[in-house]
Each structure stands twice: as structure tokens, then as C-alpha cells.
Amino acid sequence: MRLNVGLLGGGSWGTTVAALVSRNAPITLWARDAETVDAINRDHENRKYLSGIKLPPALRATGDIGQAVAGADVLVMGVPSHSFRGVLEEARAHLRPWVPVISLTKGLELASGKRMTELIEEVLPGHPVGVLTGPNLAREIMSGQAAASVLSMEDEIVVRALQPLFHSGLFRVYTNTDLLGCELGGVLKNIVAIAVGMGDGLGAGDNTRAALITRGLSEITRLGVAMGGRPETFAGLTGMGDLIATCTSPLSRNRHVGVELGKGRHIDAIIADMHMVAEGVKSAPTVMALADRYGLDMPIARDVFDVTQGKRSALDVFRGLLRSSVGDEAHPG
């Protein structure tokens, strides 16, 4: 059966996923920016977010959200966390019942602390929900480099039915039914990437980076398991895999924020210079609230929260790390 796909969001990752899906199914991408829509349709390029990369002619864009949603058998959400709820509410009037909704967004809603799939369930009850997540840097994938991702939904039958939509050539898509664990891995790794970037900006070495990534993974796993995720999920593509890519790539927005913080720049100035969203900055307060709710110590996440809130500098944080007490690696206090 040929499925029609609607994708909401004209950023780098939304455009990349739309280009991949266009090889397997008819897809319409909705973007709010009229110039982006025109450039995709006329020149097969998203100049704002993926300049210099040709998009498949089969990918069509529209500025009319109803046109993208009304005929969709699958809806993909590629908008940032701060506008996710609003776009869902816009789409609701056009969406047919029972259409699966897949999130690409690795963030939490600031006001409620909810994951994006929880927002989908709240705004669009009755629709199967899922996430596509993993170590997926958009520009690398659009350049034809091999990558792996995970499509996660709680219903194994539905997730296997949708898997071929996203699987394409060198872009390998696995399935996982641990929806909470997969989604949390994508959210939490952004905060660790900011910490690693701060170290890089301060001139720290590879040993420091390895320690931060490893201890960061420990923090992510503790919170994820406390919230109901499966431990093995965090050792897979959506946990460790995504963490490594985001913490080490020069293409990573969250790492870039950390690097600039490490150089002594203020968070407001860094964000003002970026035209893409670094979700880790917005997620940090919510993650700290979750850590407090579950009674967990997350020192790396707390340091990132303090620096992104302007309470301490990156240099102060790293001096503090050197003075902090150490205990059993497997059973931290």
C-alpha cells in the first residue's frame, strides 16, 4: 500500500527526512517561511538550512498546513519543541483519525516538562505516536554518508509497517518498542554535548572529553531508567550512538553552544548568532526538575544548567569538577 506522508517543519533535519522519505513515498513538506517553500519547489534547495545541497525533485513543499496534513496517511513532526504544541493544534483540524504521528524533535516542552510524544497524545488523542531518533547529523546524511537511526513506537506491528518509509539506501532504520527510552536519549544527550563543548572551548583534551561522555551517559541512563526506560536502550543508537555524534561533531549545534560558552561568551549572544535551535539549552531547566523529582544527582546536567542560566561560567564549572569528590563508578552517590 502506497502511503502519503505529510511533514511539518522546514529546518535542516525535517528537510533531510523529507528528502529520504521522498524516495519511498509521496511526501509534502510544510514550512512557515515562504522563501523556503519557493526555493524547495523551484530550485530543489533549502538555502537557509542546507545551502548547496540538491533536494530530490519528488519533494514538494507548501505554505498551507492543510495541504500537507489533510491527505496524509502518516504525519511527521519536525518543528522545534517551543512551537511543537502550536503546530499540532494547527494540524488537528486537518488530520484524519488514527493517522500515526512521528516526532523528529529532541526536546522537552518548557512549561509542562512533557516529551513531544506526550504532547501528541494530549493534543491528538487516539493517534499512534512514535519517534525517529539516533546519531543523525543532517548535512552528513544529505551528502550521502552512511548513518543509522531508530524508529520507535510501542506497537510492534505499526512500527514494522512504517519502518520501510524511512529506511533508504545508506540510511538504515532499526525499530525499538522502548518509546520512552529512545525519546529521552535524544533529549538528554544534548545537555551532555554542551558540557563536552565547554571543555573543548576551554582547551580540554581527549581524556576529559571521554570522561564527560562516559559519565554523561551514566547520568542519562540513571534518569531514563528511573522514568521507565529500558537500560539497554541507552547503550544503543538512541543513547550512546547519538551521544557520541553530538558530543564530537563540529556540525553539532549543542556542542557549538558549549564551545562558545567555554570561550567565555554569554549564552544570549551565542543564541542570537544561531539560526538553528540548540535544544539542550531549552531542555536543561526541565531536566533538572526531573532529576529533583526522581531524587537523582546529575552533576554534569546541573553544571550545564548553571552555565546556560548565567549563574556560573564554564571555567568555574570545570574548576569545580576538579574539586568534586569521587566514589564508586558503578554506584555513584
Cα(130)–Cα(87) distance, integer angstroms: 17
The neighbour count for residue 100, using CB atoms within 10 Å, is: 22
| Ligand-binding site membership of 168 (annotated) | no
State the DSSP string of 210-254: HHHHHHHHHHHHHHHHHTT--GGGGGSIIIIIHHHHHHH-TT-HH
| Ligand-binding site membership of 12 (annotated) | yes
| Ligand-binding site membership of 49 (annotated) | yes
Type of residue numbered 147: A
What does the DSSP 8-state code read for residue 141?
A: H
Q: Which residues are catalytic?
A: 189
| Ligand-binding site membership of 138 (annotated) | yes
* Grid cell of 30 as nine digits: 510544510
| Ligand-binding site membership of 148 (annotated) | no
CA count, 13 A, side-chain hemisphere, 178:
20
Q: Grid cell 489533510 — which residue?
A: 70
Tell me the β-bridge partners of 130: 102
Which residues lie closer than 8 Å to 218 by C-beta, 6 or more apart? 332
| Ligand-binding site membership of 189 (annotated) | yes
* Grid cell of 262 as nine digits: 567555554
| Ligand-binding site membership of 160 (annotated) | no
Among candidate residues 100, 103, 114, the one with its CA nearest the CA of residue 78? 103
| Ligand-binding site membership of 122 (annotated) | no
Cα(165)–Cα(21) distance, integer angstroms: 6
| Ligand-binding site membership of 242 (annotated) | yes
| Ligand-binding site membership of 304 (annotated) | no
Among candidate residues 113, 87, 99, the one with its CA nearest the CA of residue 14? 87
Type of residue numbered 28: T
Residues annotated in a binding site: 12-13, 32, 49, 106, 134, 138, 189, 242, 252-254, 277, 279
Residues annotated in a binding site for sn-glycerol 3-phosphate: 106, 134, 189, 242, 252-254
Residues annotated in a binding site for NADPH: 12-13, 32, 49, 106, 138, 253, 277, 279
